[in-house]
Structure 1
């Protein structure tokens, strides 16, 4: 939410003790439903770091749906913190501005709103029959008295039960509430640009949401999920925040939550009347002037109208943040919590991307892979005729910052059911700015050329022993420079889920379904075998096909997603698998590609769909059959594995690529890359025939490429296409029935010495006949 839309202050006097001077950061304390509406663009700024796509426009238009999503997200992540959680949170060792017990007791003795004799806060009803102002107002008053007495000048409790607090995405009024009953608000350089408490209130200034219930109305699961809704919105609207405290309060008791990237930690109930000292300590801890104790990353801060990042290196450098209201961020609590900012280096006058994320402790950090790429590129610089790895980003700087266990005071990370919650580590990387997501490419030519470089980069990565495992539309970028050299026109980024094939440690574990559901391969969705290079290739196909089918024209999204693609993102695995199988097997699926994306993109989608029909689908059936046979008797399986080398038998139960290189991988990468290259050649040849093309878009290699003979549908065939399409929507065909027919229809691998000409035509489809003329030698780079 843009802070410049927030109205001015309520008259509070800003506390300027910790405000930064120009270009100098403040001193830091030690860190411790499915309602599928139209697709809307998040920003028209071509240099905005794009927000994360949460599946198929799943913005949870109803709070009810959001609460259900959070229930699934936080399953097995609720950790009881016991009384020691409150003791460590409120200790003076943790909160430097926490007053002593003597000071707190002195306040209680002189404050007329608390009875030392009755051990009770004044005017809080003993037995309320409903939740209304009679319950909310005295609680709000007592909290504000505490804040004023202990000089929390930039903090205030606001009764938000009768006010609107907008969410980033509009939510309809439902039985569930969109804002807390009471909100502990604040301001400062680490929260928002507006240095005052806004009226009406906004989540940009929320320090801690407080949900109020009367005792007889407490519903444990629903109430904690309601607090989770508020905490999530704080993390969304405060993108430099890593955890949020929330309070569940009744007329008698209080319970505290900490929502962070490992889930939620919660305290036991305490009676805030009889334990008034602890109540005051909790309020003061949640209103401390030390913003890092409230979860804010103090390396990100406001100074006037500009937001800055100050590195924590021994010789810190300060960068200004471009478009500070629109960073990339994930709309979740539990998980990686990835946030990216576009920075501007005043010294070099270049842009770079700052990324923060939380990885599980047993996963190799992203910067390890980026550093491998950087070292390989440095080697290649010293070798004549060698170019950098094409289509892959690298890293400028990186580091680790914190661990969830430290933020939780080293308490046991064990959830309610007794299972351990994985540790997460906060890290950051600084990378060059490469461009916008591929879906923003303004021309078919730029889009295809970027895709070509990204595929080549994937092959080079695999030769290095790196699998990306999370290829998606937002992880594929295009270079907006039309003069970019081959290898620099598109980039694959985000190695959070990458795996080092040469490291046994990184392969261990049950990690079957990695990546973004929308673009996962069918094999990954099926959960068979390990994620391998063909899965990455298939994810590339799904990602580019998604762009082609959801774009009205290059760089312009359609108003709505084609219904045939909606279930790719289904939370039901069987539905997602069936939808993607249907797309591959339907001979007219390519017709979903927008006409303004061009017939050549349609042909490419048809060709690649044929490839994955032949290579991916039969392999799944083979792996499942072999796994069933092997799983019958594990003792026999071990015996066969021991005996096999002696008799020269190769045993591979999954046929996955876990070695650095093999012939099959080179062949399959070559087929896919060469197919895209041929489409590029034909697309640009077609454009040259229509109008002159700038020389910088046509390379000498293009002239040397063999062409495609493309035959569009003839007269009267459009009705037949629609009939075939309707058949595909209701019928899923067995991929094994296609093996014999498809074998002769895919591009020749080019390994043989003879030139071949094959006609590729989707089975029973009158829509397209693509004649591919293959040269005897391997094709040059496009």
Structure 2
């Protein structure tokens, strides 16, 4: 460093000589900065290694800025085991180690850069699925700031004068151009081999087996990885791998918050042997923590930063996700067996809480009854003592399109009336999954061509204001004219099962479940004056658990028989595991004494901590991945079969966030909620 600075070529008389004193536009900084960065790379020998680094000026999408859609930035082009070269372009999100953005000192703003970079970082995490964190620099003619992004949110440093502190500036540049991929924020337990043209040809994943011995799997290059969109939150990524004997497995990586009550591995241990439920092979805990990647967080206000821990679960592989079905018999059999698996989960006192097409896998070819659909993903599931959980319904938890009415309605609910999440909420989610399938697909699995009804209906369900989704779903269930509207727009191939299965399922959900719960909602409160939980007002509905599952599974069995399936109609059976276990008798609903803190009118917004003290960094974090309602699509997105980009709603913890303003401040609450929803787009 002394040799570089003492040469006088780039730095002389206390300033970087290439950087203009008074640039009129930020673009005047790009060329000089790019040359300085490349000179540092060359001086350090990083341009001569097999993992070479090069600074280039490129254009990248910025979705949330008010200006042009694209603007130039300096990107560090990278070669190495975690990077792949794009076709037809020297730069893409798949081969970038870091970004350096330029701004005039008079115009530099940390929050503007945060908004711009978060859009790019979301693409980075998708195109580089083994990313743990990402860092960038904002550089002016005088100063530099470091920005850090991970699954807990973002953090940035105070400005540093690059002319007064050249050594610190050099360290920042070299840190963000390092050839050690761990320093760059990449998980080096996952590695790829690349062809001379930069495309990936093979890959490996290293973890531990059930005996805690290190084992290396081969990545199945033609399948996956399956990546959840969004920057903040669990960041679930699933890898398809094979062992040395050719057996296929699914490796699930995700980030769990510290306040998670029970871990997915504990729940998977309890469901071993259950037919139709994913089976764990091994588990690796505490692989990394977001706290380890950051600067000092001790000065932040409480709740601003939530530490997350990386965990890895290896599970037995099954088929692809539900949306990859190829026949009516296949999708009906998968849904039927997934519902039966949900019943089996309940027999082990577990409620899933995130029923969606992504979490229902198709069974292997020629799978027998009970294995045609596999229920996966227990990372936000809850252990229960009866038929309801001890956690209140929360519109931030789950996948928005498939959330039940009672969950969506709680967004506007008074604190004392927000109910507990129960098994019927999951059962209703199965109905919305089935509805989505027949509206969006043909019986052979082909995607339906868009039509106005589909666009209007499914478009409303992916809106991220819960009250708007609730209104649309309420009409869908309760309006008599929907019977005829839906029949007209679905593919004629579904007509054979429309009257009995679909309308039967719809009538059951409205007349015996959702409609009844809506009438009972204000017949009692969730909390007593002393803060303890009151008796569950839904007990008269919940106690019919055996009948509920028998009715729904029976509808699917009858439909399968009608369309040519070989599966007989199942008689009503007692609620027990379907793996030969003894029947499990359910106790009456019991709840522990807990209090409820807020009522979801205003969800907790992105926290930031800045107390004006010199040298303190700033952190911003949001509790969900919701995009703003202003980004509501007019049509359901035309997507590949696998809905891997469906945004997760966070947080997975059953802990409630701070609740609403008093009723008299409802209007103010709505305004704050709108601002909050906009801020959420920064980290989706």
Q: TM-score interval w.r.t. the shorter chain?
A: 0.7 to 0.9
- How much has 1:554 moved relative to structure 2? 2.5
**Does the 8 A contact of 1:180 with 1:209 survive in 2?**
no
- How much has 1:204 moved relative to structure 2? 1.1
Where 1:626 maps in the other structure, the secondary structure is: coil
Partner of 1:397: 282
Q: Give structure 1 stretches of 5+ with no counterpart.
A: 1-103, 378-388, 642-650, 685-696, 706-782
In 2, the alpha carbon distance for the partners of 1:436 and 1:622 equals 39
Q: Give structure 2 stretches of 5+ with no counterpart.
A: 195-200, 411-417, 573-684
Partner of 1:122: 17
User: 1:256-306 CA distances to partner (integer Å, 9 max, x unpaired)?
Assistant: 111000000111110111110000011111122221121111111112421
Equivalenced residue count is 545
Partner of 2:382: 499
* Residue 149 of structure 2 corresponds to residue 253 of structure 1: no
- How much has 1:543 moved relative to structure 2? 0.5
User: 1:305-360 CA distances to partner (integer Å, 9 max, x unpaired)?
Assistant: 2111122565322222113684111221111111111112232x221111111111
Where 2:563 maps in the other structure, the secondary structure is: helix
User: 1:675-722 CA distances to partner (integer Å, 9 max, x unpaired)?
Assistant: 2222222222xxxxxxxxxxxx524x35999xxxxxxxxxxxxxxxxx
* Residue 429 of structure 2 corresponds to residue 536 of structure 1: no
* Residue 240 of structure 2 corresponds to residue 342 of structure 1: yes
**Does the 8 A contact of 1:440 with 1:554 survive in 2?**
no
Distance 1:122 1:211, change over 3 A: same
**Does the 8 A contact of 1:113 with 1:142 survive in 2?**
yes
Partner of 2:312: 428
Distance 1:298 1:704, change over 3 A: closer
Q: Please report the TM-score for the alignment, with normalisation by the length of structure 1.
A: 0.65
Partner of 2:258: 361
In 2, the alpha carbon distance for the partners of 1:585 and 1:296 equals 50
- How much has 1:157 moved relative to structure 2? 4.1
Distance 1:607 1:662, change over 3 A: closer
Partner of 2:358: 474
- How much has 1:164 moved relative to structure 2? 4.6
Aligned to 1:309, which of 190, 200, 205?
A: 205
Partner of 1:721: none
Distance 1:599 1:506, change over 3 A: closer
Partner of 1:514: 397
Distance 1:310 1:450, change over 3 A: same
Aligned to 1:670, which of 537, 545, 550?
A: 550
Partner of 1:188: 80
In 1, the alpha carbon distance for the partners of 2:497 and 2:545 equals 26
Partner of 1:142: 36
In 1, the alpha carbon distance for the partners of 2:459 and 2:6 equals 63
In 2, the alpha carbon distance for the partners of 1:105 and 1:265 equals 30
Partner of 1:319: 217
Distance 1:559 1:178, change over 3 A: farther
* Residue 486 of structure 2 corresponds to residue 486 of structure 1: no
- How much has 1:601 moved relative to structure 2? 4.1
Partner of 2:230: 332
In 2, the alpha carbon distance for the partners of 1:178 and 1:341 equals 32
In 2, the alpha carbon distance for the partners of 1:394 and 1:481 equals 18
In 2, the alpha carbon distance for the partners of 1:549 and 1:323 equals 32
**1:473-622 alignment runs, 5 A limit:** 473-482=357-366, 484-502=367-385, 507=390, 511=394, 513-527=396-410, 528-560=418-450, 561-587=454-480, 588-589=482-483, 590-591=486-487, 592-622=489-519
Distance 1:503 1:412, change over 3 A: farther
Larger radius of gyration: 1
Q: CA RMSD in A?
A: 3.0
Where 1:343 maps in the other structure, the secondary structure is: strand
* Residue 190 of structure 2 corresponds to residue 300 of structure 1: yes
User: 1:394-450 CA distances to partner (integer Å, 9 max, x unpaired)?
Assistant: 1111112111112225633836xx643222111111111110122221111111111
